[in-house]
């Protein structure tokens, strides 16, 4: 089955700097890669996703890049703000049942 | 809110007792999932459903069973709760392939 590794486990950045989280996956058949943000005590919420036929996708200050050959994808947050502080999860999916394999999560702390 | 509700939100139960968690959706989505979230493990799939009476096991299904007699309801049962099942349980729904999950608000279960 699919295995997703996520790094780093914690990330501290100064407000205004950029943050990058990287994930690798094992199953070359995976074709859909969402990212979730989870604030303390809240539910995970989808913030951006990318399909395997696309190399990059942007939405305001966040972007995701996908390298199918190397089987890794990354989340980029630019001009970080305190409200970006949260746990971020990557995931990969390849089958029609839509089961996601999640990474272990990255705790992002943005300090003013 | 997000078209998906979980009940109860919090529960404390004793070891050896049966427990049932409920997930209810108003979106008429076919796919429904139960995950558990534990520190250091991210989100792990317990069971999932493709439709009414169509369910299958995830990666951590031992000790859990599910039922889906109606499109809108997906029940997770711990037959005989153990302390290792203390966790936060999230239900998720998905419209179709290449769509992300929408998560419920979660149920915090403590087994004492």
According to the model, what pLDDT value does residue A95 have? 67
pLDDT-derived band at B100, boundaries 50, 70, 90: confident
CB–CB contact A43 B45 (8 Å): no
Q: What percent of chain A has pLDDT above 70?
A: 97
Count of CB pairs separated by less than 8 Å, A with B: 57
CB–CB contact A32 B97 (8 Å): yes
Give the tens place of pLDDT for each residue, B63-76: 999 999 999 999 99
pLDDT-derived band at A98, boundaries 50, 70, 90: confident
Give the tens place of pLDDT for each residue, A42-92: 999 999 999 888 899 999 999 999 999 999 999 999 999 999 999 999 999
Q: What are all long-range contacts of B60-69, with beta carbons under 8 Å and residues at least 24 apart?
A: B60/B36, B64/B34, B66/B34, B68/B32
Q: If you average pLDDT over residues A104-111, what whole number do you get?
A: 96
Chain centroid to CA B66: 8
Does A96 score more than 70 pLDDT? Answer: no
Question: Which residue in B10, B38, B43, B105 has the most chain A C-beta atoms within 10 A of its own C-beta, making it the best mutation to test that interface?
Answer: B43
pLDDT-derived band at B39, boundaries 50, 70, 90: confident
According to the model, what pLDDT value does residue A2 have? 83
Identify which of B46, B71, B44 has the alpha carbon closest to the alpha carbon of residue B58: B46
Query: Pairing between strand B107-111 and B54-57?
Result: unpaired
């Amino acid at each position: 089955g699919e295995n997703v590794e996520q790094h780093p486990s914690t990330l501290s950045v100064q407000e205004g700097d950029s943050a990058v989280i990287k994930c690798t996956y094992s199953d070359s058949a995976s074709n859909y890669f969402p990212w979730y943000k989870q604030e303390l005590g809240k539910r995970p919420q989808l913030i951006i996703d990318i399909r395997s036929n696309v190399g990059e996708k942007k939405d305001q200050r966040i972007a995701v890049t996908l390298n199918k050959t190397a089987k890794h994808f990354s989340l980029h947050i630019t001009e970080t703000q305190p409200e970006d502080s949260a746990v971020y999860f990557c995931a990969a999916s390849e089958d029609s049942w839509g089961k996601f394999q999640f990474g272990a999560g990255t705790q992002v702390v943005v300090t003013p | 809110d997000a078209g998906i509700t979980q009940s109860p939100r919090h529960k404390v139960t004793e070891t050896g007792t049966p427990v049932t968690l409920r997930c209810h959706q108003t979106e008429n989505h076919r796919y429904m999932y139960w995950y558990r979230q534990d520190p250091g493990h991210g989100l792990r799939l317990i069971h999932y459903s493709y439709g009414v009476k169509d369910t299958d096991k995830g990666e951590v299904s031992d000790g859990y069973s599910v039922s889906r007699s109606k499109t809108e309801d997906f029940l997770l049962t711990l037959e005989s709760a153990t302390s290792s099942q203390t966790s936060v349980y999230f239900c998720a729904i998905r419209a179709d392939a290449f769509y992300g999950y929408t998560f419920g608000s979660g149920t915090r279960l403590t087994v004492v």
